Structure 1
């Protein structure tokens, strides 16, 4: 009888123990949308788990917001794929996440993917505001250490240098936004690129923890940080081309040339 009692308890608890991870996306929603009609994206918003640094050029971005559920205490990073651009997705203690993103006009997609590669949630929407010019050049940086701070550095054909201290360039290019918490994202975009040669660098700037920035070599999580840089040309068009580069970084101060390309 006692064995039967414990068997019933085990069967009752099994669904909770075996519950598969799920994801919810509250923003954006699927279907048709017109940026600026009902949203208030000109106002600064909160991001999880760590807000990106707002240096004045990150307003008018769409927030990708949602929550992961049944992911347990040992949580390998899931992925957030935006128009096919994957980044590690970290959350707060409740599984919530929020990320700003500059979507262009036309069809866009957002997908949450589990650590095992399973699609947990996918949303596709059509941006009807033709003033939302799609990026002709987009560079996306993500990395796998939530206690490390990496930075993109872009040199454009006219010699201008976009990085964290100079996020907006006079030629229309700029960083959008500057992430400080492992998944990034750090993004560089240009909607009307100059013709010529572009240089792309990644820099291991320092570490980031509860006390803020620091330069202690052992205060990060991984001995070798794996960064992923995705270059997308003519995003969401028939001429779209993309390349992804995996770059390891080992020491604070590392500055590596990732890619030289012509547009």
Structure 2
């Protein structure tokens, strides 16, 4: 039987008028097998997350907040310093997938005004998965839009939703199709050479599923945030974030080419 050491949560004071809950992952000393609940995830916005390709060993960030009355502003979820818009269902519940690396990790809830509501710090002790060396994270600000991330590797492989797993290991390990992301690309043993990161404004989401009708859209321009993280959770960690506007379905943009 595995021993589980549970430490106290690091909780920041919340505004009295805001009900908030950050139920998972738990704080303290965790192992991936104990916090990965993706197969049982039942709450998301607007549909339950689906596993696709290499989406294994991921953890669900779950909880409940008092939704803002102003739908134009969103709470934020800050995961290891990566900000993402946080959407809820009609009752205020949320669930977002994330693949945590070994070592120290943090999850924080913030109000639309940027005030910290609650923060959990935990240590991922499972070393069976290699530490991420290259990670690319994409999120966007429109729950009715679907954005796909595409990565071209130095040997010409193409990681995308229809082919997420690379022959050399790694790939897209979180492909969100139910809200503003995240989509995540991870490599533990990257080959040397040039990498190219693209995003594609694929379509819209309506009551009957995805479609390509742009009439009646609520946002004329949506923005995507792409974050590149190198050597995550190590003293050599470096990161770079970019925000790109997307104006119409079909937009395909080169976000970044970089040499590793």
> TM-score with structure 1 length normalisation?
0.87
Q: Is the 8 A contact 2:53 2:163 kept in 1?
A: no
Q: How many residues align?
A: 244
Q: Is it true that 1:198 corresponds to 2:195 in the alignment?
A: yes
Q: Is it true that 1:51 corresponds to 2:48 in the alignment?
A: yes
Q: Paired residue for 1:85?
A: 82
Whole-angstrom CA distance in 2 between matches of 1:221 and 1:142: 18
Q: CA-to-partner distance for each residue in 1:40-95, whole Å, 9 max, x for gaps? A: 647353341133342242232111111112x3432421111111111100011111
RMSD over aligned Cα, in angstroms?
1.8
Whole-angstrom CA distance in 2 between matches of 1:127 and 1:226: 32
Whole-angstrom CA distance in 1 between matches of 2:233 and 2:96: 20
Q: Is the 8 A contact 2:201 2:250 kept in 1?
A: yes
Distance 1:205 1:238, change over 3 A: same
Q: Is the 8 A contact 2:56 2:173 kept in 1?
A: no
Q: Is it true that 1:184 corresponds to 2:181 in the alignment?
A: yes
Q: Is it true that 1:252 corresponds to 2:246 in the alignment?
A: no
Shift of residue 132, structure 1, vs aligned partner: 3.1
Distance 1:120 1:56, change over 3 A: same
Q: Is it true that 1:174 corresponds to 2:171 in the alignment?
A: yes
> TM-score with structure 2 length normalisation?
0.88
Shift of residue 23, structure 1, vs aligned partner: 2.2
Shift of residue 129, structure 1, vs aligned partner: 1.4
Whole-angstrom CA distance in 2 between matches of 1:74 and 1:97: 17
Distance 1:44 1:167, change over 3 A: farther
Aligned pairs for 1:213-252 within 5 A: 213-252=210-249
Q: Paired residue for 1:74?
A: 70
Q: Is it true that 1:110 corresponds to 2:107 in the alignment?
A: yes
Q: Paired residue for 2:133?
A: 136
Q: Which runs of 5+ in 1 are unaligned?
A: 1-17
Larger radius of gyration: 1
Q: Is the 8 A contact 2:25 2:35 kept in 1?
A: no
Whole-angstrom CA distance in 2 between matches of 1:24 and 1:128: 24
Q: Is the 8 A contact 1:160 1:169 kept in 2?
A: yes
Q: Is the 8 A contact 2:146 2:180 kept in 1?
A: no
Q: Is it true that 1:261 corresponds to 2:237 in the alignment?
A: no
In structure 2, the residue corresponding to 1:176 is in which secondary structure? strand
In structure 2, the residue corresponding to 1:132 is in which secondary structure? coil
Shift of residue 102, structure 1, vs aligned partner: 1.1
